[in-house]
Structure 1
Amino acid sequence: MWFKNVKAYQLTQPLSLDDDDLQTMLQENAFRPCGSHDTATMGFASPFSQAGKDGAMFHKVQERYWITVKKQEKILPAAVINAELAEKVAQIEVETGSPVGKKQQSDLKQEITTRLLPQAFTKNSYIHGFISIPEKLVVVDASADGKAEGWLALVRKAIGSLPVVPMARHSLQSELTHWVTDGAPDGITLTEEAELKSTDDLESVVRVKNQPLDSDEIKLHLDAGKLVQKVSFEYQETLTAVIAEDGSFKRIKFTDRIKEETGDIPKDQVEARLDAEFALMSAELSTFLDFVRDALTLNKE
């Protein structure tokens, strides 16, 4: 269990979770498969369910609560719906001798969708996140705001309250630009990938990869007023990632030095391995995010 993307939030008020109550609250909002006319459903599942194991509705290690949301969507290709719609519209126009208006076409499209839904394939996906009580952090493995907000909303609905704000509440482009021009904080080593954006109306974007960030070309772009929107880095030989100006992290990869700590657990001991990986990963991420809050002077309260 290694998160690949992170949307990080900080708790604005103390949060206390009782294990028995949490199990009950999550169970009451458990995942259920799509019905014949559902387009999508979402609910909680055991964190181990993706590995084919059932268990509690959350997994806890050192006051860090791993909670998993499962989503099921009906897959109806637009080409199939549009093909049936075109046939139906052509038939009506032949029978009536009049063109079919936009409102009628919209109604027909909805009728076709409703009729085909029971025959549609389903797609399952999972959103993992954890609440770290000691660090007052909420961390969601998501690359998009909508996905993370979906996890937050469902958890908030289940437990009644989840008082959080994004860890970064303003654009970090000035801070990230400072990292490139004047040096990153101790513990952060910038690597050779970045995205720069102009601040004028043109909003021109320059993306560089496999290029030293102290090169003359990069300096020219920065001197021209462009600001850093994304930059890749390594943190204390623990992980590599790309940080974006909104405070999100993408393409997180934990180093072999970290992953090797769980390497002696046999692969057939699925639950033991997931437990160890989550314990290690959540601790390292919490430490890293706490470091980032200090390095970027982001408020912890």
Structure 2
Amino acid sequence: MFKNLTIYRVGASWQPSRQEVEEALAKGQFQPCGATEPLSLGWVPPRGIEHGPLVEVIDGHLHLKLQVESRVLPGSVVKERVDEIAAQIEEQTGRKPGKKALKDLKEQATQELLPLCFKKRSSIRIWIAPEQRLLMIDASSPARCEEVVSLLIKTLEGLTLHLIQSAEAPATCMAAWLMDGVAPEGFTIDRECELKSEDEMKSVVRYARHALDIDEVRQHLEAGKRPTRLAMSYKDRVSFLLTDTLQIKKISFLDLVFEGHDKPEKDEQFDADATIAAGELGELIPALIEGLGGEHDFLGSAPSGFVADSQLVAPDKTVLDLDQTPAAVTAAVAAAAAAAGPDDKAPWD
């Protein structure tokens, strides 16, 4: 069901109900691209059944599906059409179109060609575990994940998300595991990794289907290269590729997961896949974060007898929501500090 996961922490104040989520998604159901629309996205039934519910709840976990449709229009085709129109204008007027005119011609050519383009569809699965306050997006591109997060926050009232970060950098941990040949408890190092240098050369070394407990790998690490990808397995049940940005890619459930289970009927396949994914990955994710030193605490440790809350009051009395993304929190703190003036001290100084 899932091939890639980017993991987010859900704000404590958001308590979703199936009906509320269903009603919110219904306002943004998928519609195919119009004749001159380059992109269209919207919500579709996760089971793939026409007119089915937009939210599936299985064992308390919510499953959503976002459909993306785009028109394939290569830039070379647009340029060819622009050159053709520009040549016609030069022939008729005796003058070449200027920069502004060429920009307008590019827009004209795009509008002409879009209705003739092929359409390309893809889908993105979203998995929400309310009790664990986790939201996972099955997308390999960070940019696409950001688009999905923006759409979710816009669609689901009260939802706040921030990208989970580990206390220790994944690259640092992966380097230590490779140097020592020892992974965290329950994990094993498999036979694929990528090492990159941090100097101006940006050298890259890749190993595929290759033993990694060798001196050559350790020499690359000692020379300053850092792991950006490392293949691992968890309890011989799930194999995956861990990246230096804490993305989980190339997820595959191993034979041990299916032992003792009959092949489900076609109409039961979705439920079976969702149950397996939630059970196996729901155990793997916290174990992996623990192996990376635990989750980074953006709020910091509260003093004895106190509990860290999800808000902070700036000197100008602005209330900062700490359930936002880390970048948003940083920007809000900086703005509040600037507004406070040079002579005002923040209460945490």
TM-score with structure 1 setting the length: 0.91
Give distance in 2, aligned partners of 1:259 and 1:79. 48
Counterpart in the other structure of 1:236 = 235
CA offset at residue 277 of structure 1? 0.8
| 1:291 lines up with 2:290 in the alignment | no
**Cα drift, residue 243 of structure 1:** 0.4
What amino acid does structure 1 have at the position aligned with 2:164?
M
> Superposition pairs for residues 1-301 of structure 1, below 5 Å?
2-49=1-48, 52-168=49-165, 171-182=169-180, 183-259=182-258, 263-267=262-266, 269=267, 272-299=268-295
Q: Contact (CA 8 Å) 2:125, 2:137: kept in 1 or not? A: yes
Matched letter for residue 299 of structure 1: E
2:46 partner letter: P
Post-superposition shift, 1:181?
A: 1.3
Letter in 2 for 1:285: L
The higher-RCO structure (CA 8 Å, 6+ apart) is: 1
- Classify the secondary structure of the residue corresponding to 2:288: helix
Equivalenced residues, count: 295
- Call closer, same or farther: CA 1:300–1:45 in 2, change over 3 Å: farther
The answer to whether the 8 Å contact 1:137/1:286 transfers is no
Q: Structure 1 residue 76: deviation in Å?
A: 2.5
- Aligned mates of 1:70, 1:286 — CA distance in 2: 25
Q: Matches of 1:77 and 1:206 in 2, distance apart?
A: 32
**In the alignment, residue 176 of structure 2 is paired with which amino acid?**
H
**Cα offset, 1:198, TM superposition:** 2.1
CA distance in structure 2 between the aligned counterparts of 1:291 and 1:285, rounded to whole angstroms = 10
Q: Deviations over 1:7-57 (max 9, x none)?
A: 1112242431122121111111211222222221111111012xx544111
- Structure-1 separation of matches of 2:64 and 2:260: 23
Q: Which has the larger radius of gyration?
A: 2
8 A contact 2:195–2:225 mirrored in 1: yes
Q: 1:162 to 1:36 in 2, by over 3 A?
A: same
Using a 3 Å threshold, how does the CA distance of structure 1 residues 81 and 202 change in structure 2: closer, same or farther? Answer: closer
Q: In 1, are the aligned partners of 2:169 and 2:292 still within 8 Å (CA)? A: no
Q: Alignment partner of 1:160: what SS?
A: coil
- Asked whether the 8 Å contact 1:140–1:148 carries over to 2, the reply is yes
Contact 1:262 1:277 in 2 (8 A): no
Distance 1:199 1:37, change over 3 A: closer
Deviations 1:72-127 (A, max 9, x none): 21222334322222211111122222222232112111112112323333222111
* Partner secondary structure for residue 94 of structure 1: helix
Q: CA deviation at 1:188?
A: 0.8
The alpha-carbon deviation at position 300 of structure 1 amounts to 7.4
> Residues 259, 15 of structure 1: CA spacing in aligned structure 2 closer, same or farther, 3 A cutoff?
farther
Shift of 1:236: 0.6
Question: What letter corresponds to residue 81 of structure 1 in structure 2?
Answer: V
User: Letter of the aligned partner of 2:71 in structure 1?
Assistant: K
Instruction: Note if contact 2:13-2:158 (Cα within 8 Å) is conserved in structure 1.
Output: no
Deviating more after overlay: 239-248 vs 250-259: 250-259
TM-score by length of 2: 0.79
